[in-house]
Amino acid sequence: MLRVEHLEIHVAHACNLACESCSHYSDQGHKGIVSLEDADRWMAAWSGRLRLGTFSLVGGEPTIHPRLADFVRLARRHWPDSFLRIVTNGFFLHKHPELPELLKADRKIRIYFSIHHSSPEYLDKVRSNYALLRRWMRELGVRAFFYHSYDHWRRTYRGSGAAMEPYADGNPRQSWQRCDAKGCPQLFESKIWKCSPLAYLGMQHNKYGLSHKWKPYLAYEPLKPECTDEEVRAFFAKEEESYCSMCPAEPEKFKISIPLKIGRTKEYAAL
């Protein structure tokens, strides 16, 4: 078994928030969830070969998935000894009544509750589920962490939709060194991708038809299940490469606007 520190999987491509310049393109109107059948197949391609330190369930927004508890059970079956992380904005935790007992019984599962804005309007919308998770922690011993993602928000690309453009700083080493997605490889369509901006770029292109400037990055080749152990080691040991140039060498920090999309939130709350 080859040791890998961290791997992530999208539970859902959809998100109820629209945080500008999201590195997973979750502000770009992508929809849908990953089925348990697909996830099982993708995990099975690697769980016999990789021993993971941490396996993260991300998105999009994972709590949009109506069978999130089953998704957690599936991940645990494939990687019984790894830490599991559920990274969520918390808006729909109340939709998953099976989750707290599942987390109580498994001491190696963590919830990472990401707060995306400091405005009273945003905090008021998420307040009840913030309190719910605090109660799970207090009464059931669920392990959770709260963090302000907006504190370190930076641009990953310029523009959005069909007008989205990559950076052209021409310094892949510096782009890699300053990348927030560094160390977050993605399991997607049974393959392993270096980072989320590369993994879901094809989805973005299929939806919007990106300009020719993205052609070199759309040609990226992920790690395939039929690869050798030597190729796996080389993949995870590799630091910068030419594809890192799509992201900024000098990241621009900015204050995101309130990412609430009320209509979208109501739509997903009905799931």
Report residue 75: phi and psi, to 5°: -60, -40
Q: What angle do CA 204, 115, 91 make, to 5 degrees?
A: 75
Q: What is the pLDDT along the chain (271 residues), one digit of tens a residue?
A: 899 999 999 999 999 999 999 999 999 999 999 999 999 999 999 999 999 999 999 999 999 999 999 999 999 999 999 999 999 999 999 999 999 999 999 999 999 999 999 999 999 999 999 999 999 999 999 999 999 999 889 999 999 999 999 999 999 999 999 999 999 999 999 999 999 999 999 999 999 999 999 999 999 999 999 999 999 999 999 999 999 999 999 999 999 999 997 655 566 665 5
- Sequence-separated (6 or more) residues with CB below 8 Å from residue 151: none
pTM for this one?
Answer: 0.95
CATH number, domain at 42? 3.20.20
Give pLDDT, residue 269. 60
Q: Contact at 8 Å (CB) between 205 and 30?
A: no
Q: In this structure, is the dihedral angle defined by the CA atoms of residues 236, 238, 181 and 66, taken in order, positive or negative?
A: negative
Give pLDDT, residue 263. 55
Domains identified in the chain, total number: 1
**DSSP β-bridge partners for residue 56:** 8, 85
What is the DSSP secondary-structure string of the chain? -EEEEEEEEEEES--SB--TT-TT-TTS----B--HHHHHHHHHHHHTTEEEEEEEEEES-GGGSTTHHHHHHHHHHHSTTSEEEEEE--TTGGG-TTHHHHHHH-TTEEEEEEE---SHHHHHHHHHHHHHHHHHHHHH--EEEEEEGGGG-B-SSBS-GGG-B------HHHHHHT-TTTT--EEETTEEES-HHHHTHHHHHHHH---GGGHHHHT---B-TT--HHHHHHHHH----GGGGGS-SS--B--PPP-B-HHHHHHHHT-
d(CA 36, CA 75): 10
Q: Contact at 8 Å (CB) between 171 and 242?
A: no
Give pLDDT, residue 100. 97
- Sequence-separated (6 or more) residues with CB below 8 Å from residue 217: 166, 198, 201, 243, 246
Strand 50-59 and strand 2-12: the pairing is: parallel
Domain, as residue range, for 168: 2-269
Give pLDDT, residue 152. 84
